[in-house]
Amino acid sequence: MDQAFRMEAGRDGSDIAIRWQLEDGYYLYREYLSVTGVGGKPLEMATPPGVIKEDPGYGSTEVYYGTATATVAGPVTGSLNVTYQGCQDGGLCYPPTTVEIDAATLEPKSDTGKSGLQTALRSQAAFPLVSKGPKAADSSSIRISDPSTNGVVSSLLDRGGVLFLIVGFLGLGVLLAFTPCVFPMYPILAATLTREGESLSTGRGFALSSTYVLALAAAFSLFGVVAAWWGQSFQIALQSPAATLIVAAIFVALALSSFGLFELQLPSFLRNRLTARRGSGGSLASSAALGFSSALVIGPCVTAPLAGALLYIAQTGDVVLGATALFALGVGKGIPLILMGTFGSGLLPRAGQWMERVRQVFGFLFFATAVWLVDRLLPAGTGLLLWSVLAITFAVFIGAFDQMRPEVGGAARLAKSAGILVGLYGVILGIGGLSGATDPLKPLATIAAASSGDATPARVIGKDSFQSIASAADLSSLLRADGPAAPTLVYFTADWCVTCRVIERSVLPDATVADALDGIRLVSVDLSEITEANQSLMKELQVVGPPTMLFLDRDNQEVQDTRLVGEITADTVTVSASSAKGQLR
C-alpha cells in the first residue's frame, strides 16, 4: 500500500501540509481523510474538492486521483494521527490506514499503530479486499462491508445525534437483558438483597440494585474501551478458559457462602470504617464491588451493539462517545434488575428459617451458574453429568425423598412433587450425559438418533459441516481453490463461547437453516486457542469476537447488512443466507 499511496508531510508556516502521491489507477476517498491530535482530538483540516466517482460499494463519493493534499491548521504539538483509505479502479480496496506523525520532525513514528482494529494493516494488505464491481484478477480476495456506513453507532448518530444514540443503546440493553449471559445477574442481586434481612425496604432495594447496576455498567464500559483500544486480545482474554474458570470459582465460593460454610465480606478494618462513616454504606460498597466484578460475566458476551461500539471506538478514537454508548448499554441490561430489586424486595423473607432456605436456594443457583460457565470447556457429556448431579442434589434438598407426615400442608406437598420431577429430570440428564449428549434441553437426542439409524437422516448442519481455517492465508487459498461458484459463510466460533454452544445446539441443526445454507460454502474459524494468525484475520475482517457470521456472495463480497453477531437465531441465519444467494435482491 505504501507504493500505491506515498505520503509525505511538510510545513506551511505554522500549518502542516500532508501530500499523497497516487499511482495511476488508484484513488483516495476525501470523506475518509481525517487527522487527530493527542487524546484522539480531531484537528482542523482543509482539503480541496475532489472528483465525483460512482462507486458500486460506496455510492456517489468524492475521490482524488494523482495527488491529494490536506492542510492541518497549526500550531500542532506532540503527534498527529493521519487516517486515509484508498482503492484501485476495479481491483483492490484497502482498509483504513492510520499513520502517526511526530509534529516536531514530521517523520512517522516507529510504532504508527493504535489498535489492531484501528490500523487495519497500515503498511500493506496481506489479504486484499476487492471492491464490488469489475471482478478483480484474483478471485480469492474479498471485501467486507463498509462499517462506517452500516455500524450501529453511526446509524443512530445519523438519525438523531448523541441523545438518540444513548437512548438507542439503552433500549438495546433492555432487549439484551434476558439473554443467557445476563441471567446469572438475577440470583446474585437477589442474594445481595436477602442479606439485608429486616432492614430491606423498597427504597433500600432500589438503592442496592441501582448501585449494583451502575457499577456493572461502569465496568462494562471500561472493559469495552480497553478492548477496543488494545485490540481483541483483551476482550478474548476475558473469554479464555482461565478467566472462565476463575469466574466459575467465584460462583462456587458464593454458593458455599450461601450454605453457611463461610462468610464473604470486606476486611474488618474497611467494613468498620464504612459502617462508622456511612452507616449502611458498607452494603452499598459491597453491592458496587459485586456489580463491578459481575461485569466479568457479561463483558465477554459479544453482541451486535457491543461489537459496533468497539469498532466505532477503534476506528474513530472517540473514546468518550463510545464509552457512553457502552455505559448506556450496561444500564439498559440492568433496568430489569433495578425493577426486581425495587419491587421484588417486598417478596423476600426478612428473617427466620425461610430466609435461610431462600439463601440456600440461591446457593444452588450459583452452583448452576458455575456449571453453565464450565460446561463449554468440558468433553461431550460431562456437562450433562454435572447438571444431573446438581438436579438430583437439589431434589434431595427440597425433600423429594423425605417421608411425608399426613398433616403437612399443600405447600410442602407441592415442593415434594416438584422435587420428584427435578430428580427424575436429573436421572434423564445423567443417562444423556453417559450417551454423549450435550444439550440439557435434549438430553436423549443421541439415544433417539441411534435408535432411528435405519431411517434416512435429514441434512443437519453441525460443526463438522464447516471447513476449518486458521488464518487469512488459509481463507485466501480456500477461495482460490474452490473458485467463486458459490456464496460463502465464514463463522467465527470457540469452545469457550457460551452463545456459540447455543447456536450449534439449537440454530444450526434447524431444518430451515439447513435448507437456507444449502449451496453455501461453510467455513469456520476456531478461536478456542488464540494465535497471531487468527487474531490477524479477525482484525482484517473487523470481527470483535465469537460468535460472528460473515456472508460472502459469489464474487466474495460481503453482502451488505447480513453480518450476524451475538444472539443468532434460525430466522436471522435464513435471511442472511438468502441474501447471500441473491434470493432477496
Q: How far is CA 290 from CA 126, 214, 261, 275, 295, in A?
A: 44, 11, 19, 18, 9
Q: Which three cell numbers stand for residue 295?
A: 461485569
User: Which of 80, 105, 138 lies at the terminal end of a domain, its last residue?
Assistant: 138
Same domain, 66 and 194: no
Q: Read off the CATH number of the domain in which 80 is found.
A: 2.60.40.1250
Strand pairing category for 488-493 and 521-526: parallel
Q: Read off the CATH number of the domain in which 576 is found.
A: 3.40.30.10
Number of structural domains (the chain) is 3
Question: What's the first-to-final CA gap in the chain, in angstroms?
Answer: 34
Same domain, 547 and 497: yes
Q: Which three cell numbers stand for residue 213?
A: 447496576
Same domain, 85 and 192: no
Same domain, 121 and 167: no
Rounded distance, CA 160 to CA 278, Å?
Answer: 42
Residue 184 lies in a domain: yes
Q: Which domain holds residue 199?
A: 152-367
Same domain, 133 and 167: no
Same domain, 355 and 485: no
The closest of 501, 498, 519 to 509, measured between CA atoms, is 501
HSE, side-chain direction, 13 A CA sphere, residue 58:
23
Residue 571 lies in a domain: yes
Q: How far is CA 295 from CA 181, 244, 369, 563, in A?
A: 10, 13, 14, 26
Rounded distance, CA 413 to CA 401, Å?
Answer: 12
Beta bridge partners of 334: none
Q: Is the Cβ–Cβ distance between 205 and 341 less than 8 Å? A: yes
**DSSP secondary structure, 280-319, as one string:** THHHHHHHHHHHHHHHHHHTT---HHHHHHHHHHHHH--H
The closest of 471, 480, 566 to 526, measured between CA atoms, is 471
Looking at residue 136, its pLDDT comes to 36
Same domain, 170 and 126: no
Rounded distance, CA 476 to CA 142, Å?
Answer: 8
User: Which of 84, 106, 138 lies at the terminal end of a domain, its last residue?
Assistant: 138
Residue 383 lies in a domain: no
Helix (H, G, I), strand (E, B) or coil at 85: coil
Cβ neighbour number for residue 207 with a 10 Å cutoff:
17
Same domain, 358 and 275: yes
Rounded distance, CA 22 to CA 50, Å?
Answer: 14
The label of the residue with cell 428473617 reads 351
Helix (H, G, I), strand (E, B) or coil at 30: coil
HSE, side-chain direction, 13 A CA sphere, residue 79:
17
Rounded distance, CA 144 to CA 475, Å?
Answer: 14
User: Which of 304, 335, 367 lies at the terminal end of a domain, its last residue?
Assistant: 367
The label of the residue with cell 411425608 reads 404
Q: Which three cell numbers stand for residue 320?
A: 468518550
Rounded distance, CA 267 to CA 270, Å?
Answer: 6
Rounded distance, CA 216 to CA 257, Å?
Answer: 22
CB neighbour list of residue 305: distance below 8 Å, 6 or more residues apart: 152, 169, 172, 173, 176, 325, 329
Q: What are phi and psi of 445, to 5 degrees?
A: -65, -40
Find the angle CA(523)-CA(527)-CA(533) to the nearest 5 degrees: 85
Residue 55 lies in a domain: yes
Beta bridge partners of 397: none
Q: Is the Cβ–Cβ distance between 329 and 305 less than 8 Å? A: yes
Same domain, 49 and 107: yes
Beta bridge partners of 468: 524
Rounded distance, CA 372 to CA 378, Å?
Answer: 11
Cβ neighbour number for residue 51 with a 10 Å cutoff:
11
Residue 404 lies in a domain: no
Residue 201 lies in a domain: yes
Same domain, 185 and 122: no
Looking at residue 132, its pLDDT comes to 35
Same domain, 123 and 160: no
Looking at residue 2, its pLDDT comes to 59
Averages of pLDDT over each 10 residues, the chain, 585 residues: 77 87 86 85 88 68 89 86 80 72 81 35 31 37 52 67 83 79 76 72 86 88 71 57 79 81 55 49 74 70 67 66 84 88 68 66 84 80 90 88 78 85 92 83 77 57 86 82 77 81 85 89 87 83 84 82 85 90 62
Same domain, 224 and 110: no
281, amino acid identity = G
- Cβ-in-10-Å burial (0-12, 13-18, 19+) of 139 comes to middle
Residue 458 lies in a domain: no
Looking at residue 134, its pLDDT comes to 35
Q: Tell me, what DSSP letter sits at residue 115?
A: -
Rounded to the nearest angstrom, the gap between the alpha carbon of residue 239 and the centroid of all alpha carbons in its chain is 10
Rounded distance, CA 552 to CA 559, Å?
Answer: 6
Looking at residue 391, its pLDDT comes to 93
The H-or-E segment that residue 135 falls in is none
Cβ neighbour number for residue 422 with a 10 Å cutoff:
19
Looking at residue 466, its pLDDT comes to 92
The closest of 441, 445, 537, 455 to 491, measured between CA atoms, is 537
- Cβ-in-10-Å burial (0-12, 13-18, 19+) of 344 comes to middle
Q: How many residues does the chain have?
A: 585
The closest of 181, 184, 170 to 301, measured between CA atoms, is 181
Residue 475 lies in a domain: yes
Strand pairing category for 521-526 and 467-469: parallel
Q: Which three cell numbers stand for residue 183?
A: 441471567
Cβ neighbour number for residue 347 with a 10 Å cutoff:
8
Q: Which three cell numbers stand for residue 164?
A: 438518540
Q: How far is CA 58 from CA 97, 136, 154, 581, in A?
A: 18, 17, 15, 21
